Structure 1
Amino acid sequence: MKKIFQVMLLSVITMTMLNAQNTVKGIVKDSEKDQPIPFASVYFPELEKGTETDTNGQFIIENLPEGTYKLVISSVGYTTFSQNVSTSDTPGINVMLKPSAIEMEEVIVSTPFHKLQRDNVMKVERASVAKLKTEGALTLAEGINNIAGVESVSTGIGIGKPVIRGLSGNRVLVYTQGIRLENQQFGDEHGLGINDAGIESVEVIKGPASLLYGSDALGGVLYLNPEKFAHSNSTGGDINMNYYSNTSGYNTNAGFKTSGEKFKFLIRGAYSSHADYKTGDGERVTNTRFNELDLKSGIGYQSGNFKTELRYNLNKSELGIPEEIGVQSKDRSPLEPYQDLTSHIFSSKSSFFFEKSSLDITLGYTHNNRQEFEEHHHDAHEEEEHEEHEAHEEGAALNMDLKTFNYNVRYNLPKLGKLETIVGIQGMHQTNKNTGEEVLIPDATTADIGFLATSHYHLDKIDFQFGIRYDNRSIDSEAHGVLTDEHYIEAVDKNFNSFNASLGTKLNFSEELDLRLNIASGFRAPNLAELTSNGVHHGTNRYEIGNQDLKNERNLQTDITLEYKNQHFEAFIDGFYNKLNDYIFLEPTGNMIDGAPVYNYVQEDAKLFGGETGFHLHPHPIHWLHFESSFEIVFGEQTNGDYLPLIPASSLTNTFRVEFDQNKKTLKSSYGFVTLKNVFDQNNASSFETTTDSYTLLNVGIGGKIGFGKQEMDFNLSVSNLLDESYYSHLSRLKTDGIYNIGRNISFGLSIPF
C-alpha cells in the first residue's frame, strides 16, 4: 500500500511539473499605427494569472496548465481583446488592439462563465472602487449610489446598505472574497460592514440570482472583487490617504504584495475616523461619528494544473446611532446608543484544471459579533468619558454572535462543441447566539443546501444561457423567555424549499447593436426576525411581531436590454418587470406596547417595474471630452394598490468629464469632471413612510498622475454637494426626524505606489 501511494504521489508531482512547462508569449500593437503598446494588461481570468507587456509590447506567461483558456488583453484607450487560447504548442500571438474612447471592458466574475460584459447574456453593472473614491464617496456604501439602479438605505454616513431596484435587506445578497457575507443584514440599521480598502471593483446583478446564489438573492447580488495578487516575479505596494472636510474625517490604507513563480502574498491595513457630519444648514448631526479598523491579507499558490488561495479580513468598527441634532461637537468617540461590530472573514478558493474541464471549490467562514450599547441614566454632572466607561462596564444591551460556514463546489464540464455547462452544489451552516440582555432574534441554527446546473450556448449571432436549481433551507430556533410572558418567543422548526430556473439570450444585430432578454425566477425564505420577533426593536423604534406562518417569497422577473456601441458613442435602455408573490412586510396595527407602535409581519403579492437608460458620448475629434447621462426609475406597489417601502426616487445624472494625457515629466495625465444629479419627488410612499421633495446636487472634481523623478503618485480633489443643498434622501432613515443629509464635502486623496 505504501509503495502504491508513493507511485501515485510521484505521478501527480510529475504531471504537475509537466503541466507547468506550458508558456504563452506574444506582442500587442496598435491596429491603426502598427506600434507596440507598452504596459498593456495580459490576463487569463480562469487561471488568475497574468502579466504586462514590456516597453516593446511583448509579453510572456509561464507555468500554465495544459488546455484552452480565455486570454484577455486590455489597455486604456483601446477595445479589450478576448479570445480562447491553447496553452500547448502555441506560437507567438500577435494581437492588434483597436483604439476606442469608451472605457476598457473587464471580465465579469459574478456570473458563472467569466466573460467580458459584451459577451455576457446577463447584463451586469461594474464599477472600480478607485473611480468611486475619486467622486468623493466617504464609504463603500455611499459609493455604490453612483451605479445605475443601485441606491443605499442610510442611517447617517457610517451605516448604509444596498438597494437594488427597490429591494434591500435579506433580498440582496452581498459577496466578498468569493463567499456570502452574513452580518445580521435583516436589520434596517445594520450596514454593509465592509471597508473599501482592498476591494478592486463592484459588480451588481440587478434581478433574481437565486439560480447562482440560492435564497436571499431574490433582489440581486452585490459582488465585491478583492484586489488581485501581484503578477508573477514582481513586488509592489502603495499608500493611500483621503481627507474629508465635512466630517473632519480621514481614511488611510497601505498595502504590500509580492509574487514568485508559484507563491503569492498580499496584505493591506486601513483605518478610518469621522466626526459628526454637517448638513446643508450648518448643523452637525449628533452621533453620526464612526471609526473603523480593517485588515485584509491573502496567500496563494499556483503550479501547473492546480491553484489555491486563502484570504482573511478583519473588520472592527464603532458606529454611533443618531437620534437627533444635539450637541455640536467634532468628537470621534461614539455616544450611546452605538454599535460595536467585529467581523472575521476567512475564505479558501481552489481550482483543479484538467485538459478539458476544471473543478472549483470555495469554502468560507464568517464570525460576526454585533454589540449595541444603549443610553443609561447617569448623574447630570458626570463626564461624557465616564458615561462611556460605565456603559462598557454594564455590558452591551444587545450582543449577537453569528457564525457561518459556507461552501460552493462547481464542476466545469468538458465543452460539447459550443456548449459550456457547469454543475454544482452550494450551501451554508449558520448559528446565531445571544449573550446580551435584549434579544432581537432567538438562538437558532440555519442550514442551506442547493444543487444547480447552468449552460451557455454560443452561436455566431446569438447566445443562450439557461439553468435550473433546487434549494432547501431549514431553520431551527430555541424558545426564549417565560411562556406566560407577553414577550415570549416560541421555538421554530421550519423547512423551506424551492425550484428556480432562468433563461436568457443575447442577440447581436450587428457589431454595434445587441439585445439581451432574460427571464429568471427567485425565492427567499423568511428570516428569523420575520418569523420570531416579539419585542421593541430600538433601532427602528417599533414593537415588531413575527409570523411563523410566513411562506417563501417568490418572484419572476423579465429584463430586456438594448445596447448600441461604437468607437465614440454608446447608449443603453434597460427595462424590467418583477412580479413578487407573498412579499413580506411590516404593517402597523394601530396599537401600542411598551410605548412603541406595534407592527405585524404580513404577506401580500406585489410588483416592481422600471429601468435605467443612458448614453456616453465621446465626440470626434475632441478626444479629451466625455459626456455621460443616465436616468433611472422604479415603481413598487402591492396588488391592493398600496405602495412598497424604500422605493428610491427617480433621478437624472449628467456628467461632463475631460481627460488629458500630457505624458510630461511632472504632470503625466489629468482629468476633471462636473456632475449634476437631479432627484425627483417621491410621493409614492408606503403607509408608514414620509414623502420627499426633489433636490439637485452639483459635484465637481479634478485629478491626475504626477511624477517626481522616478516616483509617481495619483491625486484627486472633489467637492460633493457644491451648493451646500439641504435635502432629504428618500432612503434616509433620519428623514422622519427632520434631519437632512450631508452638506458640502471637500475631499482630497493621494495614492503613492512603491
Structure 2
Amino acid sequence: MNEIPIISSTFYINRNMKLIINMLLCLSIASVQAQNILEGSVVETTSQKGLAFVNVYLPDLEKGTYTDEDGSFNISGLPSGNYTLIVSALGYETFSLRTTIPSNAPLTISLTPSAIEIESVIISTPFHKLQSENVMKVEQANVSDLKSNGAITLADGISNIAGVESISTGLSIGKPVIRGLSSNRVLVYTQGVRLENQQFGDEHGLGVNDAGIESVEVIKGPASLLYGSDALGGVLYLNPERFAQQNTNSGDINANYISNTNGYSTSAGYKQSNDHFKFLFRGSLAEHSDYKTKSYRVTNTRFREQDFKAGLGYQSKGFKTEFRYNVNNLKPGIPEGIGEQSTNKSPLLPFQEVTNHVFSSKTKLFFNTSSLNINLGYIYNDRKEFEEHHHDEHEEDHEEEDHEEELHDDDILEAALHMKLKTINYDVKYNLPKLGKFETIIGIQGMNQVNTNYGEETLIPNAITNDIGILGTSHIHFKNADIQLGARFDHRNIEINNTLNRNYNSFNGAIGFKTNITQNITSRINLASGFRAPNLSELASDGTHEGANRYEIGNSNLKNEQNFQTDVSLEYKSQHLEFFVNGFYNTVNNYIFLAPNGTEIDNTPVFTYSQEDAKLYGGEFGFHLHPHPLDWLHFETSFETVTGKQTNGLYLPLIPANSLNNMVKVELNNKWLHKGYVFVKLKSVFEQNKVGDFEDNTPGYNLLNAGLGGSFMCLKRELTVMLTGNNLANKTYISHLSRLKTDGIFNMGRNINIGITYKL
C-alpha cells in the first residue's frame, strides 16, 4: 500500500533536484579567484590610538580575527569579491563596511565610544546586515544574555523578547508565540534549515536544547517571502555557535542547579580550527523533578533531556562548506492533575519520548561578483507516547520506586502512539552581481515529508507532503533610505493514506522602506503577505489528544490561511538613550481554529476545526537609558500588547495578556572582574479578559526577579558565575498561555538558579 506514494515522492524529489542541478550549471560560469589578505588597523576616533582585542569579522566568509596590542589585524586566505566587514568592541559603536578584496591599501577603521550594546549581523534575513541597516525589523538576543536574566530553558528564554511569548506545559514543554500566533504559524529554523517535528503537537517542545545555540533571531510578522508556508506569523531563527576562529581552539564546561525542580543541566564542548578545516562538538544533559508552586508540586511535569551537537567545516579559495548534526531526546511527563508529591525524576504514565535528528549542510560558492548558497537538511522526528492501559497493571501496594522503574523498562512498554516524520528540505539562493544600487537574490526552496504511524493509536494518518517555492528579492540602496521588495510563488501537495489528495498554491509579496529621519532616528514601514496551508492534524486528525483531554476531528475542506500585515517602527538611538515603538495590524483570512461541537466520544469532548476571518493588532514600546557619566547604570522598560478577534466579534484563543517589564541593571568591570552585572526586574502581566469562546479569564500578576554574575580568572582560565532568582516573592499565578490553566494549576513558584561556566 505504501509503494505508490513512495514512488511518486521520489519522482517529485528527482524532478526538483534536476532543477537545482540545472540552476547550478547555469550559474557556475565565473572563475574562482586566488586567495588574498585583508589587513589594516582599528583606532579610537578622538585619540587615533590603536585599539586592542577588537573583533574584525567577515560574516559572508565566516572568517575573522582580533586586533593586536597596536590595533593591527590581518586575515588571510580570502577569495576575491565584495564583502561586508564588521568591526565591534565593547564600549564602541559597531562599524560596518562594504570592502573589496583584494584591497589596494591597508584599511584604517575608526570606532566611536558608545555605551550601546554591540550590534550583530542578522542571519535570518537574506542580505545579512546589521539590524541598524536592515529594512525588516528583527529582534536578536544572545542565549547567554537570556540565561543570565534567569531563563532555564530556550522556550523560557525567548519569552524575554518583546512581542514573543511561549505556550507552556510546565518547564519541559514550550511553543513560541509571536504577536499572538503560534503552532504551525511560526516557523523554527535551526542550523540553517527549517525544523519539522510535528509542530501542531502540544505535548512536546521545540526539540532543540539551548546548549550550542549562540543567539536567537525573531522576525515578527509574515515571512512567507523568505520561508514559504508556516511562516505566516513569523520566524524563530536559532543560530548555532560559531566555529573557532582560524588557527585557534577552545573548550568549556557548564553546570546549572535549579532549586525549584531540584534539577540540573550540564554541558561540555570543544572546537578547533586551522587554515582550512574546523570542527566542534557539544553534549548536554538535563533532569528535573516536578516543578513546585507555593502550595504543591505539579505531578508529572518532570522530564529528562539529552542533546548532542557536532559540526565539521572546510574552507578553501572561493568555497566553504559545513556539516552539522544534532540529536535531541526529550522524555517529558504529561501532567493530568495534582497527585503524587515527590522529587523523583522518572516520568509517570502518561509520558512522551521524542527524539529529533537534524542533519544539515551549508555550502557557499564565491564568484567574481556573486555567490551561491546551497542549504540541505534532513530531519528525522521519532515521537512516542506511552499510556497506562498499555502497561501491565500493578498492585496498589507496590512500592512507588519499583513502579517508576518498570515504567521506564522499554522491554515491557509499548508506545500507544508512535509516529515517525522524515523531512528532506533544500534551499538554494543565488546572490546576483550588484547592479548600481540593487542587491538581488533569486532562489528555490522545497521540502519532501513523510509521516508514518507505527503505534496502536493513530492521531493523524500516514501522509506525504511536497513543497516547492520560487522567490526573488532586492535591496535598493539610496543615500538616506533603503527599500527591500520581493515576490514568491509556492505550491504544496498533501497526499493522505492514498485516499485524499490536496493541492495548495499561493503567491506572496513584500515591500519595506527604511529611512534615517535624522542621524539618531530611524523609521521603518513593512507591508507583507503570508500564507499557511492546513497541516495534517487540521485536515485529517481523528482520535483522542492525550493530555489535552479532547477528541479531535479534522476537516478535509479547509482552505489556505492568507494574511496581510502592516508593520511600522520608529527607533531613536544616541550614546546614552535608546527608544523604540513598533505597531502592527494583521488581517488573516480563513483563520483555522479548534472548538468544541457539544458532543462526546468515549466520554471525551469532541473538538472540530473551523475557519473564520480574523485580525490581530498591537505592538511593542520600550526604552533603554544609561545616563552619562553613569554608563554602568541601565534602566530598561518594555511594554507589549496584542488583540486577536474574529470577524464575528469573538476573540481568538491563546492570545497573550498585555505585559510590562522594568529592569534596573548595574555593570561591573575592573581588573579582576569582567562583564560583571547585578539586576532587578519586575514583570507585570495584566488581566486577560479578551478570551476565546471556550477560554476563561486570567487575572494579572507581578513577578520579581533578580540576579548577579560575572567572569574572573581562575587557575589562568576564565570562570563565569551566575546567580538568579525568579518569582522571588513566591507569587501564585496562572499564565494565560499555560495549558494547565483549565485545571486551575499554578505556574512555577520561587526558583534559584546557580550556574558556572569554565573555559578550558
TM-score class, shorter? over 0.9
Q: Distance in 2 between matches of 1:95 and 1:114?
A: 21
Given residue 469 of structure 1, which amino acid in structure 2 is its aligned partner? R
Distance 2:260 2:676 in 1: 25
8 Å Cα contact 2:523/2:569 also seen in 1: yes
Structure 1 residue corresponding to 2:518, chosen from 498, 510, 518: 510
Other-structure match for 1:462 = 481
Measured after TM superposition, the shift of residue 389 of structure 1 is: 4.8
3-state secondary structure, aligned to 2:204: coil
- The answer to whether structure 1 residue 378 and structure 2 residue 378 are counterparts is no
Task: Report if the CA contact (8 A) 1:373-1:391 is conserved.
Answer: no
AA aligned to 1:378 is H
- Of residues 66, 79, 85, the one that matches 1:52 is 66
Q: Where does 1:661-680 land on structure 2 (aligned, <5 Å)?
A: 661-664=669-672, 667-680=673-686
User: Residue 159 of structure 2: SS of its match in structure 1?
Assistant: helix
Aligned residue number for residue 63 of structure 1? 77
Give secondary structure in 2 for the equivalent of 1:19.
Answer: coil
CA distances 1:109-151 after superposition (whole Å, capped 9, x unpaired): 0000000000000010000000111112111000101000000
Structure 1 distance, partners of 2:394, 2:278, is 54
Tell me which amino acid in the other structure corresponds to 1:447: N
DSSP-derived class of the 1:530 partner: helix
Deviates most, 709-718 or 306-315: 709-718
Deviations 1:17-70 (A, max 9, x none): x522x0101111221333322221111111111111122222110000101100
In 2: Cα distance, 1:547 partner to 1:90 partner = 64
Structure 1 equivalent of residue 625 of structure 2: 617
Matches of 2:335 and 2:213 in 1, distance apart? 28
SS at 1:153 equivalent: strand
1:223 and 2:237 aligned = yes
Aligned to 1:741: 747
Deviations 1:160-204 (A, max 9, x none): 010000000000000000000011011222311110000000000
2:466 corresponding residue in structure 1: 447
Residue 367 of structure 1 aligns with an amino acid whose one-letter code is: Y
Say which SS state the counterpart of residue 412 (structure 2) adopts: helix
State the AA in 2 paired with 1:270. Answer: S
Aligned position for 1:412: 431
State whether structure 2 residue 644 is matched by structure 1 residue 636.
yes
Q: Do the aligned partners of 2:219 and 2:234 also contact (CA within 8 Å) in 1?
A: yes
Q: Are the counterparts in 2 of residues 617 and 628 from structure 1 also a CA contact under 8 Å?
A: yes
Summarize deviations over 1:473-515 as a string: whole Å, max 9, x none: 0000106xxxxxxxxxxx3200001000001000111110011
Aligned to 2:664: 656
**Aligned residue for 1:316?**
329
Aligned to 2:195: 181
Distance 1:445 1:539 in 2: 27
User: Residue 433 in 1 paired to residue 452 in 2?
Assistant: yes
Residue 729 (1) aligns with residue 735 (2) = yes
Q: Counterparts of 2:668 and 2:408 in 1: how far apart (Å)?
A: 54
Q: Which amino acid aligns with 2:412?
A: E
Q: Hey, what does 1:19 align to over in structure 2?
A: 34
Cα distance, 1:708 vs structure 2:
2.8
Contact map agreement 2:407 2:413 (CA 8 A) in 1:
no
How far did 1:709 drift? 5.0
Cross-structure match for 2:357: 344
CA–CA distance in structure 2, aligned partners of residues 492 and 587 of structure 1:
24
Q: 1:421 aligns with which of 437, 440, 462?
A: 440
Greater Cα shift, 710-719 or 214-223: 710-719
AA matched with 2:396: A
Letter of the 1:230 partner, please give it: A
Q: Within 1, Cα distance between the matches of 2:324 and 2:426?
A: 15
Structure 1 residue 392: Cα displacement:
5.2
Partner of 1:282: 295
Report the counterpart of residue 325 of structure 1 in structure 2: 338
Q: 1:390 to 1:254 in 2, by over 3 A?
A: closer
Is contact 1:238-1:254 (8 Å) kept?
A: yes
The whole-number CA distance in structure 2 between the counterparts of 1:160 and 1:418 is 43
Offset, 1:553: 0.2
In 2: Cα distance, 1:291 partner to 1:727 partner: 25
Rounded Cα–Cα distance in structure 1 between residues aligned with 2:674 and 2:739:
44
Number of positions where the alignment pairs a residue of Structure 1 with one of Structure 2: 726
Contact 2:280-2:312 at 8 Å conserved across structures: yes
Long gaps (5+) in structure 2: 1-27
Worse-superposed segment, 522-531 or 25-34: 25-34
Deviation of 1:391 after TM superposition, in Å, equals: 7.1
The answer to whether 1:206 aligns with 2:206 is no
2:204, 2:354 within 8 Å by CA — same for their partners in 1?
no
Partner amino acid, structure 2, of 1:324: G
Query: Structure 1 residues 316, 90: closer, same or farther in 2, change over 3 A?
Result: farther
- Cα deviation code 1:327-367 (max 9, x no counterpart): 11111111111111111100000000011000000000000
Distance in 2 (alpha carbons) for counterparts of 1:461 and 1:543: 57
1:609 is aligned with what amino acid? Answer: Y
Structure 2 Cα separation of the partners of residues 154 and 183 of structure 1: 17
Is 1:576 paired with 2:581? no
Aligned positions of 1:70-89 closer than 5 A: 70-89=84-103
How many angstroms apart in 2 are the aligned matches of 1:623 and 1:445? 57
Q: Residues 241-263 of structure 1: CA distance to partner in whole angstroms, max 9, x if unpaired?
A: 11111111111111100000010
| Aligned counterparts, 1:261-272, within 5 A | 261-272=275-286
Quote the Cα distance in structure 2 between the aligned partners of 1:380 and 1:687: 41
Residues 228-283 of structure 1 deviation map (CA, whole Å, 9 limit, x = unaligned): 0011111111111111111111111111000000101101111111111101x231
How far 1:705 sits from its partner (Å)? 1.1
Distance change (3 Å), C-alpha of 1:390 and 1:75: closer
- Quick check: 2:31–2:367 contact (8 Å CA) kept in 1? no
Report if the CA contact (8 A) 2:360-2:378 is conserved. yes
- Code of the aligned partner of 2:387: E
Q: Which residue of 2 aligns with 1:398?
A: 417
8 Å CA contact 2:379–2:422 kept in 1: the answer is yes
Partner Cα distance (2:674, 2:396) in 1: 59
Cα distance, 1:98 vs structure 2: 0.7
Contact 1:270 1:293 in 2 (8 A): yes
Of the three residues 563, 569, 572, the one matched with 2:571 is 563
Alignment correspondent of 1:358: 371
Partner of 2:9: none
Q: Name the SS for the 1:733 alignment partner.
A: coil
Within 1, Cα distance between the matches of 2:69 and 2:716?
Answer: 16
CA apart distance, 1:711: 1.8
User: The residue matched to 2:581 in structure 1 has which SS?
Assistant: strand
Residue type of the alignment partner of 1:639: T
Instruction: Determine helix, strand or coil for the equivalent of 2:687.
Output: coil
- Partner Cα distance (1:439, 1:77) in 2: 57
In structure 2, C-alpha distance between the alignment counterparts of 1:125 and 1:72, rounded to whole Å: 19
Q: Report SS of the residue matched to 1:662.
A: coil
> What amino acid is the match of 1:335?
L
User: 1:335 — aligned with what?
Assistant: 348
Aligned to 1:255: 269
**1:568-587 deviations in whole A, cap 9, x for unaligned?**
00100000000000000012
CA contact (8 A) 2:203 2:352 kept: no
Structure 2 counterpart SS, 1:131: helix
Q: Hey, what's the Cα distance between the residues in 2 that align with 1:621 and 1:103?
A: 16
- Decide whether the 8 Å contact of 2:458 with 2:542 is kept in 1: no
Q: State whether residues 631 and 651 of structure 1, in contact with CA within 8 Å, keep that contact through their aligned partners in structure 2.
A: yes
Give the C-alpha shift of residue 209 in structure 1. Answer: 0.3
CA contact (8 A) 1:651 1:679 kept: yes
TM norm structure 2: 0.94
**626-635 or 706-715, which moves further after superposition?**
706-715
Q: Which amino acid aligns with 1:332?
A: K
Deviation at 1:433, TM superposition (A): 0.5
- Structure-2 residue corresponding to 1:699: 705
Matched, 1:477 2:485: no
Match of 1:454, as an amino acid? T
Name the SS of the counterpart of 1:628 in structure 2. strand
Whether the 8 Å CA contact 1:24–1:90 is kept in 2: the answer is: no
What amino acid does structure 1 have at the position aligned with 2:668? Answer: F
Is this contact kept in 2: 1:450–1:472, CA < 8 A? yes
